[in-house]
Amino acid sequence: AQSVTQPDIHITVSEGASLELRCNYSYGATPYLFWYVQSPGQGLQLLLKYFSGDTLVQGIKGFEAEFKRSQSSFNLRKPSVHWSDAAEYFCAVLYGGGGADGLTFGKGTHLIIQP
Amino acid sequence: EAGVTQFPSHSVIEKGQTVTLRCDPISGHDNLYWYRRVMGKEIKFLLHFVKESKQDESGMPNNRFLAERTGGTYSTLKVQPAELEDSGVYFCASSQDYRGVQYFGPGTRLTVT
């Protein structure tokens, strides 16, 4: 079955430090890749997406992600986190090739920012 | 432009009762999706509408769940009768294109007691 793995349930980072959130997905034809963020009391907001082309994609709020096909990974990075980045982050994949129409999500990573 | 809206934001019902959740997609988006997140689990796809037609309902858990999208605008998701395991957050999303970017609503938190 198609699956998305976010191995870190919680990550704690000091404000101003760099961040990397990991995401691995099971192999599938032509995956489209997404990162969403959910702040407390809010809905899911799209951070960035990868469909094709340049494997390093830029998103909102200073985030970027790199698609590595050989590793089936789509890790999210930010060079310097701010207290407002504290939220839950979801990696999601839209598989092609006749799979379900909906996104397949990872379990999410809670990001905690230390002052 | 208004985003995806969902109503109600919270609902608490007793086991055996009926609840109807509503989703209004972004205007002009033909594609509408329902998802659910049960506590401690990942967000799971339920179904996909293209206009008023169900394109994919492979994620619907059982026949106690009924989704409709009359007229191809807003959608409702009815749970009848509700069970304890139906508790969770129900998200709606819409997209302009098939396999395009999906924009999510704030979700409806359903608690079945």
How close B49 comes to chain A (CA, Å)? 10
State chain A's mean pLDDT as an integer: 93
Cα B61 → chain centroid: 12
With bands split at pLDDT 50, 70 and 90, how would you rate the model's confidence at A100?
confident
Nearest CA-CA partner of B23 in B43, B3, B41: B3
- Over residues A29-53, the mean pLDDT reads 91
Distance CA A44, CA A90 (A): 9
Least CB–CB distance from B48: residue in A36, A42, A101: A101
| 3-state SS assignment for residue B50 | strand
> A103 touching B, CB under 8 A?
yes
pLDDT band at residue A29 using 50, 70 and 90 as cut-offs? low
Q: Give the model's pLDDT for residue A59.
A: 97
Query: Tell me, what's the pLDDT at A101?
Result: 85
pLDDT, residue A97, reads: 66
C-alpha span between B111 and B89 (Å, rounded): 9
> In this predicted structure, which of A18-27, A28-37, A93-102 has the lowest mean pLDDT?
A93-102
Residue A50 tokens, joined:
């990868």
Judged by DSSP in three states, B62 sits in coil
Q: A-chain residues within 8 Å CB-CB of B106?
A: 42-43
Nearest-CB residue to A49 (from B48, B91, B101) = B101
Closest approach of chain A CAs to the CA of B3, in angstroms? 11
pLDDT above 90 (res A98): no
Q: Which two tokens stand for residue A39?
A: 């702040």
- Of A34, A13, A14, A33, the closest CA to residue A89 belongs to A34
**What is the pLDDT at residue B2?**
82
Secondary structure E strands in chain B: 5-7, 10-13, 19-24, 31-37, 43-50, 53-56, 65-68, 75-79, 88-95, 103-104, 108-112
Q: Which residues of chain B have pLDDT under 50?
A: none
* Residue scoring higher pLDDT (A85 or A95): A85
- What pLDDT is recorded for position A25? 94
Structural contact between residues B30 and B86, judged by C-beta atoms closer than 8 angstroms = no
